Structure 1
Amino acid sequence: MSPQDLVLTPRGIRFLGRVLPCSIGKSGITTAKREGDKATPAGEHRITGLWYRPDRLAAPAPWARPIGPGDLWCDDPGHPAYNRHTHAPLAASHECLRRSDPLYDLILTTDWNWPEAIAGWGSAIFLHQWRRPRHGTEGCIAFARQHLIWIARRAAPGTRLIVPARAQHSLS
């Protein structure tokens, strides 16, 4: 591991010499991720994308992509676009990336079950803003807005995200 890796620790994510509080999946960490299990997948993942709401904040990095009104993420294991960015209209189950709340104002996507998604192994494992401290996610890793922006300004495509299977994270 290097200081350039995002590493989940019991106190939060360690990155570039700082430890930033975060929340993980409501069900904790799993080595057997399944769609809808509310768990954060253990393993070594990579950052694959950076998305932001241009009507709510400035691009945090040159490689960031704006989230538009029709941007979706398919979470239907039976659909060909499963665990991929797509556009409305989409009849299959999906998440709207342009939400009314601020949770997805800034998203770092990961390579969990991507690019060749296996049906049912889970989708949309993002780094995003938390609802509040210690509030578990649906499987993502969530941060205070200012910490997420700090990470987004410094991470790059391919940055490693390491989630140890043995981590006893306290949703701090």
Structure 2
Amino acid sequence: MRRPKPIVVRRAPGRPTEARVQLANGVRRAALGRGGIKALKREGDGGTPIGCLPVRLVLYRADRVRRPRSALPLRAIRIGDGWCDDPVDRNYNRPIRRPYRHSTETMMREDALYDVVLVLGHNDRPRVRRRGSAIFVHLARPGYTPTEGCIAFSFGDLLAVVAQLRAGSGFLVMP
């Protein structure tokens, strides 16, 4: 079986925190990290890392959205789900259950940003302290304001991305 073509993410001309993303059904707008696209990602720098980032998992809020159609593994986000972003913790850049003694990202947010989330394979195999954690594809804020390093789409575009994914799919982030 052939590996699917990556979804190409390129910085929008003159807009370091915005991207143009080539999907099967056309080019879409996306928000990038407040630090722009970074060749050397560091924890907390707000950068979106350059490279080919495989999609590991699709998460969704079953209490807010229908289960997305996807060929990839799907899991509903539960109360207490979190992601460790503390570089000194042994569970750095891994999912955890909250409450947790170290710094974490809450997956069941009050806003809608994580109603649908793609977990990207960045700094996970192997994990290197301070090289960045929790690089997701999620929903964009109004006006496509910058993220903390993730890639963010409108709801409709994110569902189109999820429907397009196949085993081995990934995002190719280019400068």
Task: Tell me the TM-score normalised to structure 1 length.
Answer: 0.90
Q: 1:139 is matched with which residue: 106, 130, 149?
A: 149
Please list every run of at least 4 consecutive aligned residues from structure 1 whose deviation after the TM superposition is greater than 2 angstroms: none
SS in 2 for 1:133: helix
1:147 partner amino acid: D
C-alpha RMSD of matched pairs (Å):
1.6
For the pair 1:31 / 2:61, whether they are aligned, the reply is no
Q: Give the whole-Å Cα distance in 2 for the aligned partners of 1:20 and 1:157.
A: 22
Aligned to 1:59: 67
**5+ unaligned residues in a row in structure 2: which ranges?**
13-18
Q: 1:127 is matched with which residue: 119, 137, 147?
A: 137
For the pair 1:48 / 2:56, whether they are aligned, the reply is yes
Q: Give the whole-Å Cα distance in 2 for the aligned partners of 1:106 and 1:23.
A: 15
Q: Percent same amino acid among aligned pairs?
A: 35
- The Cα shift of 1:157 comes to 4.2
Aligned to 1:71: 81
Q: Give the whole-Å Cα distance in 2 for the aligned partners of 1:133 and 1:151.
A: 20
- The Cα shift of 1:3 comes to 7.5
2:6 partner amino acid: D
Q: Give the whole-Å Cα distance in 1 for the aligned partners of 2:125 and 2:115.
A: 23
SS in 2 for 1:21: strand
Q: Give the whole-Å Cα distance in 2 for the aligned partners of 1:156 and 1:132.
A: 29
Aligned to 1:170: none
Q: 1:155 is matched with which residue: 155, 165, 168?
A: 165
- The number of equivalent residue pairs is 164
- The Cα shift of 1:53 comes to 0.2
Aligned to 1:87: 97
Question: 1 or 2, which has the higher strand percentage?
Answer: 2
Paired residues of 1:47 and 1:156 also in contact (CA < 8 A): no
Paired residues of 1:79 and 1:92 also in contact (CA < 8 A): yes
- The Cα shift of 1:92 comes to 0.5
- The Cα shift of 1:132 comes to 1.7
Instruction: Summarize deviations over 1:48-94 as a string: whole Å, max 9, x none.
Output: 11000000011113521000001100000011111011112211100
Instruction: Summarize deviations over 1:98-120 as a string: whole Å, max 9, x none.
Output: 00000000000111001321000
SS in 1 for 2:117: strand
2:116 partner amino acid: L
For the pair 1:101 / 2:111, whether they are aligned, the reply is yes
Q: Give the whole-Å Cα distance in 1 for the aligned partners of 2:129 and 2:106.
A: 20
Q: Give the whole-Å Cα distance in 2 for the aligned partners of 1:39 and 1:32.
A: 9
Q: Give the whole-Å Cα distance in 1 for the aligned partners of 2:55 and 2:100.
A: 25
Q: Give the whole-Å Cα distance in 1 for the aligned partners of 2:22 and 2:104.
A: 31
**5+ unaligned residues in a row in structure 1: which ranges?**
167-172
Paired residues of 2:54 and 2:168 also in contact (CA < 8 A): yes
